[in-house]
A = this chain, B = another copy of it.
Amino acid sequence: MKSSDAPTMKDVAREAGVSLGTVSKVINDIPVGEQYRRRVDAAIKKLGYQVNNYARGLKTNKTYCVALVMPSLHHPFFAVLVNELSKCLMEEGYRSLLMITSYDSQVEEKCFLLARQNKIDGIIALTYSPDLEVDESISVVTIDRHLSNHPCVSSDNYHGGELAAEKLIALGCKKLLFLQIGNVIVGEAEKRGPGFENACHRNGMTCHSIVLTDDETEAPFYQFLEEHIHNGKLDFDGIFCNSDGLGVRVCEFLRERNVRIPEDVQLIGYDGIVDYATGRYSCSTIVQPIAEMAQAAVHLLLHQQGDLMPRNISLAVHFAPGGTTRE
């Protein structure tokens, strides 16, 4: 850690032979005599002066810094989300303070505390603890989950579920299965199932659903599937999984048992995860508009505080074929 003896505004003022206030004005683009401006600019360049955001933040009570509280970057969805959030924030002149919670609510709490100590201008969070204490004075936007009455940005999960059902039905499926494994915490993502089921019924079809929570294993899925395979034929011909990850695993399980996908069974996942190596979707999927979600979250946090904060913003999803449906 080298000690920083960076030049300050005072140094610039001395070098330019003007006062502190003048330097400040130049830096903040406040009108100043042309000659002064030139002298100051020259001094700044000569000394390599850089504004000290800490001093500025202290004075203005504005840090141009937003905390990103995320469970992990091992999952592509989170990684890409953080990527987009960080880019959006940077475009708006904000910096991102990244905090990884590892799905640990203790850490989540600590992050919120740290964020507060850092006097950040806001928090964008995807958390798993339902009862996080959030300081009322700080602006928060959540992704996919609700936290007190802070606005939540998500994809249109309900419609995504509907879309999956409609697509499978349009592709000729007659017996539909819905598999979900997810958070004990109820969030926006839990609307995928209802959307799917509703669209099934609306189309006069029944649908078998199996819903597990994160603290269980996926074993019941596979046991169920196993029991419903007879002579290499599954009793269902259309499956909707609440994530691409699950979709991929289910595909693999079925293919190992000689169930042909998409010939005999078609499957749709959710998320729109793109394989890093091939650039393709890992299965047919309902694509979440991650970049738009990031943009919405940032915009909501920075430009729409105060008056009319919506409780939820859900963004349009679309279906993308990924080899596990006939189209």
Q: Which residues of A contact B (CB under 8 A)?
A: 1-6, 48, 50-55, 57-58, 61-63, 65, 68, 72-76, 79-80, 82-83, 86-87, 90, 95-100, 102, 113-114, 116-119, 121-122, 135-139, 244-249, 252, 273, 276-278, 282, 302, 305-306
Asked if A58 and B54 sit within 8 Å, CB to CB, the answer is: yes
B residues near A252, Cβ cutoff 8 Å: 278
B residues near A137, Cβ cutoff 8 Å: 2-6
Report the 10 A-B pairs with minimum CB-CB distance, sorted nearest first: A79-B79, A248-B277, A73-B83, A98-B98, A245-B277, A73-B79, A54-B57, A86-B100, A1-B305, A54-B58
Offer 5 A-B interface pairs, CB within 8 angstroms, sorted by A.
Answer: A73-B80, A75-B276, A87-B100, A97-B98, A249-B277
Min C-beta distance of A128 to chain B, whole Å:
16
Asked if A2 and B95 sit within 8 Å, CB to CB, the answer is: no
Asked if B118 and A53 sit within 8 Å, CB to CB, the answer is: yes
Asked if A276 and B76 sit within 8 Å, CB to CB, the answer is: yes
Asked if A58 and B61 sit within 8 Å, CB to CB, the answer is: no
Min C-beta distance of A302 to chain B, whole Å:
7
